[in-house]
Homo-oligomer: A and B are copies of this chain.
């Protein structure tokens, strides 16, 4: 494990809205404090779980301003700077930097695809335009480019990248990335974004995880991290099985697909658990309702995140 301050459990923060689709600041603070009190090692704002694609720039920077104030240096704050191509990402970087965040997270360029040369150049040019630690976000499901492990390690050795958030779903490539990073002297901090198989990433040597599901159950992810640090693999694995079952909330949704089923289920669970006040989503996504809410509540109860006799909340 490197000495970097970036390690351990760094949840991507889900943003609560009120009925008018404005940030619900009290719920936001409650959720952040709940995670910090559970012992998370950092927080990541404006990632996919944070609905970054759905927020106007004004909304994005409102989130960052409030987030930095609420976190108040208790843990490092990472900010997504998600936009199409290099110059637009730099624009986001410069603004995020002004809000006092501790690190930035950028994907490969998207919308207008190029080849590997353009991807590498993209990260190099961002690096030249910010002084903050820069993480690559490997997210082919959104950007339709898989980041090559060899390139990532080279960018780490060259001081361009501080680390990687791997949400590629490619555990073979992640293993190779870990090994090549090790052989190169561990220049990169490597995080997995797949909350269902964090234990496998730890076996591969990951420096931490960025689990969206930790918004619901931060204690378990923190306990799992500690067990990993202690070499207690049976505990690592047992906690993972429990968390994987909790993640069924995203699989059992019937009314919609994609983002609305994933983050929609997180919001619905946080609402029913009393952390959020609604499960409101942003346009064009509809909040889950009816049968889907019942299914989610049932899974939360099975997994001990809601009392067995708690009623289903309605709006």
Interface residues, chain A, CB within 8 Å of chain B?
Answer: 48, 51, 53-57, 59, 82, 84-88, 90-91, 109-115, 117-119, 121-122, 125, 142-144, 169-172, 175-176, 179, 194, 196-197, 199-200, 203-205, 231, 233-234, 236-237, 240-241, 244-245, 248, 251, 256-260, 282-286
Task: Check B258–A114 contact: CB distance below 8 A.
Answer: yes
Contacts A142-B112, A176-B196, A258-B114; A54 near B169 (Cβ below 8 A): no
Task: Check B204–A257 contact: CB distance below 8 A.
Answer: no
Task: Check A240–B203 contact: CB distance below 8 A.
Answer: yes
Task: Check A237–B285 contact: CB distance below 8 A.
Answer: no
Q: How far is it, in angstroms, between the C-alpha of A240 and the C-alpha of B109 when the chains are bound?
A: 33
Q: How far is it, in angstroms, between the C-alpha of A158 and the C-alpha of B172 when the chains are bound?
A: 32
Q: List 7 A-B contacts (CB under 8 A).
A: A53-B111, A56-B90, A57-B57, A113-B259, A119-B284, A169-B171, A179-B241
Task: Check A234–B231 contact: CB distance below 8 A.
Answer: yes
Given A172-B194, A233-B233, 8 new contacts (CB under 8 A): A48-B112, A54-B84, A54-B87, A118-B284, A122-B283, A125-B284, A172-B197, A203-B237
5 closest Cβ pairs, A-B complex = A200-B200, A233-B233, A121-B284, A53-B84, A86-B283
Task: Check B200–A285 contact: CB distance below 8 A.
Answer: no
Contacts A86-B54, A111-B142; A175 near B196 (Cβ below 8 A): yes
Q: Which residues of B contact A87 (CB under 8 A)?
A: 54-56, 59, 282-283
Q: How far is it, in angstroms, between the C-alpha of A143 and the C-alpha of B169 when the chains are bound?
A: 19
Q: How far is it, in angstroms, between the C-alpha of A87 and the C-alpha of B112 when the chains are bound?
A: 21
Task: Check B114–A285 contact: CB distance below 8 A.
Answer: yes
How many identical chains are in the complex? 4
Q: How far is it, in angstroms, between the C-alpha of A55 and the C-alpha of B88 when the chains are bound?
A: 6
Nearest CB in chain B: distance from A212 CB, A: 12
Contacts A172-B197, A200-B197; A117 near B244 (Cβ below 8 A): no
* Other-chain residue from B85, B90, B194, B284 in contact with A85 (beta carbon distance below 8 A): B284
Nearest CB in chain B: distance from A250 CB, A: 10
Q: How far is it, in angstroms, between the C-alpha of A175 and the C-alpha of B143 when the chains are bound?
A: 25
Task: Check A115–B53 contact: CB distance below 8 A.
Answer: no
Task: Check A283–B121 contact: CB distance below 8 A.
Answer: yes
Contacts A118-B260, A169-B170, A282-B87; A251 near B111 (Cβ below 8 A): no
* Other-chain residue from B56, B112, B244, B258 in contact with A115 (beta carbon distance below 8 A): B258
* Other-chain residue from B86, B90, B175 in contact with A197 (beta carbon distance below 8 A): B175
Q: How far is it, in angstroms, between the C-alpha of A179 and the C-alpha of B303 when the chains are bound?
A: 14
* Other-chain residue from B88, B241, B260 in contact with A114 (beta carbon distance below 8 A): B260
Task: Check A57–B91 contact: CB distance below 8 A.
Answer: yes
Nearest CB in chain B: distance from A68 CB, A: 22
Q: Which residues of B contact A55 (CB under 8 A)?
A: 87-88
Q: Which residues of B contact A53 (CB under 8 A)?
A: 84-85, 88, 109-112
Task: Determine the residue in chain B with the shortest Cβ distance to A241.
Answer: B179
Task: Check B203–A285 contact: CB distance below 8 A.
Answer: no
Task: Check A171–B143 contact: CB distance below 8 A.
Answer: no
